[in-house]
Amino acid sequence: MAGSNKTKITPPRWLLAELTYACPLQCPYCANPIDYANYQAELSTEDWKRVLTQARKMGAVQLGFSGGEPLTRKDLPELVKHARDLGYYSNLITSGYGLTEEKIVQLKEAGLDHIQVSIQASSQELNDHLAGTESFQLKKEVAHLVKKHGYPMVLCVVIHRENIHQMPEILAMAEELGADYLELANTQYYGWAHANRDLLLPTKEQFEQAEQIAQAFKEKVAGKMKIYYVVPDFYEDRPKACMNGWGTTFLTIAPDGVALPCHSARELPGMDCPNVKDYSIEQIWNESKTFNFFRGYDWMKEPCSSCDEKEKDFGGCRCQAYLLSGDMYAADPVCSKSPNHPIIQEAIDSAKASALADNEKPLIFRNSKNSRLLS
């Protein structure tokens, strides 16, 4: 389109294949949508193979098999093999639940590159409470087996108020299990975590103390273990460069085939997210209304549109702007330049008040019953 100032479209590099919303765990900070129980239909094996082929042709190279619990899909080894044949680097993002040694070997032979195991806490009691399932011992065994069979082992621990005091023990556990990478993911408050925010958001003091401990550990294990530290944006002055910019790098396919620029995007109003059963990945990526919605900078409002940092953080996260301010075009309220920034302090104060209250309300666990109740 000569003469047009349309944003140049870069090809997708990362494909997140959310194979299913089924999961034996019930983590109260799950990133799946609250109303996941309404999406029962799952893509067929052939649909997934077609998606993998089309996205690879466009340049996607990192592939995450996620969910829910991706191991509940019986065709996982077949999809892994297809991905390997296409040249993807494939990552299995799992709770470890249902991962036997036989399956670990089978997936390795199919060409799986790496396994990321989530652990909820450093103690059995808290892990099993947060997961809503007895799973701690099993997860540790899985971590050993992953190493034994030559995979890079990534341990992922989501950090929040219930486990942030365990930071030293979590780090010791990662070392003991021989993790090659440790992802310390401070909770991002979407989906179930948003619903449970008063119970999960740590205080600034808790967060800073935990960060210091993690930082010292990072230096100690340099060269042996890599630490991915996901910052809690509620305690930052500037928003995260969400998804590296909308429709620039990341493509998520939900279990029912809906294509999303990020895994929360289907919660934005009027997005009409396209389905891979109706369109090719190329059509979806290049031509769909959804993927073009927040590309470039033309959609921005003040203070973003004249901000000299807009090319750095793209105005932050659209889903967070919508969730917290009701306006998906607004600056991410995390930004101190945002007129909605006081919302963040209110959320922090509300969480602190909840922690100090005599009768703290219970966590809402992620399961189908609660999903139907809340949606």
| Residue of the chain from 3, 223, 269, 362 that contacts other proteins (CB under 8 A) | 223
**DSSP character at residue 9:** P
- The pattern of x and - marking residues 61 through 80 that bind other proteins according to CB under 8 A reads xx-x----------------
Minimum Å gap between C-beta 60 and other proteins is: 8
Of the pair 153, 200, the CB lying nearest other proteins is at 153
User: Nearest approach, Cβ of 370 to other proteins (angstroms)?
Assistant: 30
* Binding residues for other proteins restricted to 138-177, rule: CB under 8 A: 150, 152, 154
Nearest to 262 by CA among 237, 281, 244, 238: 244
Least Å distance, CB 14 to other proteins, is 9
- The token pair at 56 is 């690879």
Residue type, 357: A
Which residue stretch of 113-121, 265-273, 315-323, 341-349 sits at the interface with other proteins (rule: CB under 8 A)? Answer: 113-121
DSSP symbols for 286-305: HH-HHHHTT-SSTT--TTTT
Peptide bond into 11 cis (omega under 30): no
Number of residues that bind other proteins (CB under 8 A): 22
Q: How far is the CB of 247 from other proteins (least distance, A)?
A: 17
Closest approach of other proteins to the CB of residue 301, in Å: 33
Q: How far apart are alpha carbons 241 and 332 in whole angstroms?
A: 10
Strands 259-260, 250-253: pairing kind: antiparallel
**Count of CB atoms situated within 10 Å of the CB of 143:** 24
What is the distance between the terminal CA atoms of the chain, rounded to a whole angstrom?
Answer: 43
Q: Which of 226, 238, 277, 352 binds other proteins (CB under 8 A)?
A: 226
Quick check: 89 binds other proteins (CB under 8 A)? yes
Least separation, in Å, of the C-beta of 56 and other proteins? 9
The CA distance from 324 to 311, in Å, is 22
**Smallest separation, CB 21 to other proteins (Å):** 22
In the complex with other proteins, which residue's Cβ is closer, 109 or 349?
109
Cβ contact 256:42 at 8 Å: yes
Q: Is 59 in the site for other proteins (CB under 8 A)?
A: yes
Binding of residue 87 to other proteins (CB under 8 A): yes
* Nearest CB to other proteins, comparing residues 82 and 161: 82
Q: Residue 249 carries which side chain, given as an amino acid letter?
A: T
**The dihedral formed by the CA atoms of 159, 30, 190 and 282, expressed in degrees to the nearest 10:** 120
In this chain, which stretch among 185-193, 221-229, 239-247, 286-294 interacts with other proteins, using CB under 8 A? Answer: 221-229
SS3 category, 22: coil
Window of 112-120, 211-219, 293-301, 316-324 that interacts with other proteins by CB under 8 A? 112-120
Among 18, 113, 162, 198, binds other proteins (CB under 8 A): 113
Enumerate the H helices of the chain as residue ranges. Answer: 45-58, 76-86, 101-110, 124-131, 136-148, 167-177, 191-195, 197-200, 204-220, 281-287, 289-292, 310-313, 318-325, 342-356, 368-374
Pick 55 or 271: Cβ nearer other proteins: 55
The reply to whether 180 sits near other proteins by the rule CB under 8 A is yes
Interface residues with other proteins (CB under 8 A) are 11, 13, 57-59, 61-62, 64, 87, 89, 91, 113-114, 116, 150, 152, 154, 180-181, 223, 226, 228
